[in-house]
Amino acid sequence: MGAPQTLMEPTADTSGPRTLADTGFISVVVPVVERADDLVAVYRAFGRELDARPQEYEFLFVFDGRITPSPELVALTRENSSVRILRFAREFGETAALRLGIEKSRGDLVITLPAYFQVQPQGIHLLLDAVGRGADMVVANRSPRLDSWLNRMQSRAFHSMIGGAAEQRFHDMACGVRAMRRSVAEALPLYGDLHRFIPALALQEGFRVDEVAVPQHPGDARMRVYGPGVYLRRLLDIAAFFFLAKFTEKPLRFFGLVGSLFLVAGTVLSLVLFIQRVDGQGIANRPALLLAVLFLALGVQLMGLGLVGEIIVHLRAPHRRQYRVRERT
Amino acid sequence: MVIPDLVPRIPIVSPASVPTKGSVPTLSVVAPLYNESQNVRPLVEWILQALDTYPHPFEIILVDDGSRDGTWNEVRSAAADPRVHGLRLGANVGQTAAMMAGFDNARGQVIVSLDGDLQNDPRDIPALVAKLDEGYDLVCGWRQRRQDKLLLRKVPSWLANRLIRRLTGVPIRDNGCSLKAYRRELLQRIPLYAEQHRFIPALSASVGARITEMPVRHHARRFGESKYGISRTVKVLADLITLKMITTFRSRPLLGFSMAAMPALGIGLVFAALWLFSLTHFGPAKAGALVFPGAGLLALGVAFYLFMLGLVAEVALSSERGDASDTPNAWEVR
């Protein structure tokens, strides 16, 4: 796991944020997962912008199993040691690619970029300047959006569903262009498909996350149509995120609530049946008895699951801290 | 006492990383603060005044739990005194985690926690510490003449305390009082998370700590607002079930789950007996209704399922077994 178990940083930066954004080493992590433009072009376009800044930088392309690096890109790594390619032997997905990239990078600042032109390369300065102003993580908000109304509507639905769980409202979490301090990158709990929630995750870890409007690249604005399976997976992602955000420390509060609803329903139904039985009506032939027992059984099972969750949380407690020290005197 | 496995994992700030302000304190006073800007200065002054005659070096650790009202600026100016340290947390994480932040950074062998809202009286600190020295690991404050709203605070608190006392068997009458004195070793054994600060006495007892309580003063809130309301009752109930489960069956979850499976097993067997009875006495035509065997099988299924869950819990436990924090606390008899 890339994320350290302890969220404390004994060496809280005393150097001040401005110096970091001006002098720190920059690592650009590019997960190459599904869609990829000409990566040499991506490197040249963004590299040209970074050349204008005083910092040194490196590029890490992390290829998921399915995609093969082009010969031109491989040639580039030979002539330029600040460009590196990492490749998974099989498909692990974007979250794993990001995590590997962060682990293998050296930068004090980590920039994540998609493998295609999502924003105008000049926009990178807006992000870095915002880090210079003191943010721990800066995410791009593609604006103005050039996408079709369908994609914009989907995006809005996604963000309004997430909005309830997070303290701060984000507008473009699907945008892969982000800049963050190394401490943030390493503290992110990146697994599964959680890369879609990176700004919200950083916020939960106690970091300051800013959103800046960055002009969208015209090449990004194509109509995207997804199959029903994709929507189902998004909904599951959102459900997982909600659960993790609210109940990771207290699973029984969730399972106990749902479980006790079943228990109450089962108890009430059983009581009614009992009274009817005493009253002289036969209940042996009625499925209502089965339903009552089923409710009770479900309630007990949910409570039991919640308790196992609590045991796991309890066992992990010595290794975990929920807080992060931002500043000390 | 040194717990070899536990010590390195707890991020105690090493003396090298903190500029030494005076000699190493033996007493640390920890106060979590959430939107208490008006209370910081009086609190610090009051604590300093109360500890004026305290014979050993001490420190005050103010933990700003993600306040949004300028509490941190007040903490910073209070930290001009070399005995006062401030910690600013990245986000509002709640009282338990804020207290943990303070505990993890405390350097004293004795640690005292109190509320940041001036409702606890720092003048009680020396007495609590003296009590601790009589041979206790935890001394809990017991608020006399509580100055809070009756219906919203005192009645729920009274009920909760009775419930906690009954369920855990730890005879502490005021679990909700933040003013407590701890021995450092105890805090290293009970890593608090979620909202466990209410259950510190019960958790301490479960690791074998010597616990006592003593009456402390309580004052009405002067500035700011209370952060508690009645809404927490339901959550406290769920937390209590957890607490009971964890303190009783922490090292043998399979036993706990098997005990929970017994009623289901009993019900299942009763249904099975009813089915057999109707089968032998009324013949298969009547017994063919399937309701009795169905309900019986469901109940037996639950029993089986709970037993299996217990095994899962054992698996989770086995990966952590041998952890030093699981060894009960003991003290040498001399």
Determine which of A183, A283, A293 to mutate to test the interface with B (most B C-beta atoms within 10 Å).
A293
Which range has highest mean pLDDT (A194-208, B122-136, B147-161)?
A: B122-136
State the pLDDT at residue A239.
86
State the pLDDT at residue A165.
63
For every residue of A228-286, DSSP letters joined together read HHHHHHHHHHHHHHHHHHHHSS-HHHHHHHHHHHHHHHHHHHHHHHHHHHHTT---TT-
Q: How far is CA B45 from CA A256, B51, B79, in A?
A: 45, 10, 12
Provide the pLDDT confidence category of residue A248 given band limits of 50, 70 and 90.
confident
Q: What is the mean pLDDT of chain A?
A: 85
State the pLDDT at residue A5.
38
| A13 pLDDT more than 60 | no
Q: Minimal CA–CA distance to A154: which of A177, A174, A176, A178?
A: A174
A/B interface, count of CB pairs below 8 Å = 172
Reading the block at residue A97, the tokens are 């690619």
Report the DSSP beta bridge partners of residue B100. Answer: none
**What does the pLDDT look like over A86-125, one tens digit per residue?**
999 888 999 999 999 999 999 999 999 999 999 999 999 9
Separation in Å, CA of B301 to nearest CA in chain A: 8
pTM, full prediction: 0.78
Determine which of B6, B291, B305, B307 to mutate to test the interface with A (most A C-beta atoms within 10 Å).
B291
Reading the block at residue B306, the tokens are 């709970």
A12: nearest CA partner in chain B: B17
| B276 pLDDT more than 90 | no
Q: How far is CA A58 from CA A26, A29, A45, B67, in A?
A: 6, 9, 14, 38
| B49 pLDDT more than 90 | yes
State the pLDDT at residue A281.
78
CA–CA dist B108, B184 (Å, integer): 7
Q: Nearest by CB to B86, from A310, A318, A329: name it.
A: A329
Residues 6+ apart with CB under 8 A from A71: none
Separation in Å, CA of A116 to nearest CA in chain B: 34
Q: Nearest by CB to B89, from A206, A250, A289: name it.
A: A206
**What does the pLDDT look like over A24-63, one tens digit per residue?**
899 999 999 988 889 999 999 999 999 988 889 999 999 9
Q: What is the mean pLDDT of chain B?
A: 83
Are B98 and A287 inside 8 Å of each other by CB?
Answer: no
Separation in Å, CA of B88 to nearest CA in chain A: 5
| B319 pLDDT more than 50 | yes
Q: How far is CA A179 from CA A235, A298, B139, in A?
A: 27, 46, 48
Are A10 and B11 inside 8 Å of each other by CB?
Answer: yes
Q: How long is chain A?
A: 329
A11: nearest CA partner in chain B: B17
Report the share of chain B in percent with pLDDT over 70: 84
Are A305 and B241 inside 8 Å of each other by CB?
Answer: no
CA–CA dist B73, B85 (Å, integer): 13
Segment B32-48 shows an average pLDDT of 94
Q: Left (φ > 0), alpha (ψ -120 to 50) or beta: where does B275 sit?
A: alpha
Between A164 and A287, residue with greater pLDDT = A287
For A30, phi then psi, to 5°, come to -120, 105
H/E element holding A152?
A: helix A149-163
> What's the one-letter identity of residue A158?
F
DSSP code for B153:
I
- List the strands of the sheet with B110-113, edge to edge: A325-328, B84-89, B58-64, B27-33, B110-113, B180-183, B138-143, B211-216
Provide the pLDDT confidence category of residue B321 given band limits of 50, 70 and 90.
low
CA dihedral (A42, A43, A46, A51) in degrees, to 10, reads -160
State the pLDDT at residue B18.
44
State the pLDDT at residue B72.
94
